[in-house]
Amino acid sequence: AQSVTQLGSHVSVSEGALVLLRCNYSSSVPPYLFWYVQYPNQGLQLLLKYTSAATLVKGINGFEAEFKKSETSFHLTKPSAHMSDAAEYFCAVSVGNFNKFYFGSGTKLNVKP
């Protein structure tokens, strides 16, 4: 069975500081991994995705994530937080041809001025 764990339901950083949002997955087969961002009352916007190519994935808005198979992790990072990064972030895993997404519980990022 597949599952996703996001450590930390709330993360608060200062503007300009490093952003680190954690995601660990469980999958018996090579997974596809995704990070999405959600602003209030809106749908999900894809930040980046891992599809078995490069393990370091660069996404939009300066975000990147590294797939570490040995740690079953796919943490999201951004070197310097911006006020506009304040939102909720979801990690998701999908495997094989089933194409179902299993979402983590989400991490709300707060950026302090």
What residue ranges bind other proteins (CB under 8 A)?
32, 34, 36, 41-46, 49, 51, 90, 94-95, 99-101, 103-106
Nearer to other proteins, 15 or 38 (CB): 38
Q: Is 84 helix (H, G, I), strand (E, B) or coil?
A: helix
How long, in residues, is the chain?
113
The DSSP-derived string for 69-81 is GGGTEEEEEESS-
Nearer to other proteins, 47 or 81 (CB): 47
Question: What is the Cα–Cα distance from 44 to 8, expressed in whole angstroms?
Answer: 19
Closest distance of CB 80 from other proteins, Å: 26
Nearer to other proteins, 41 or 70 (CB): 41
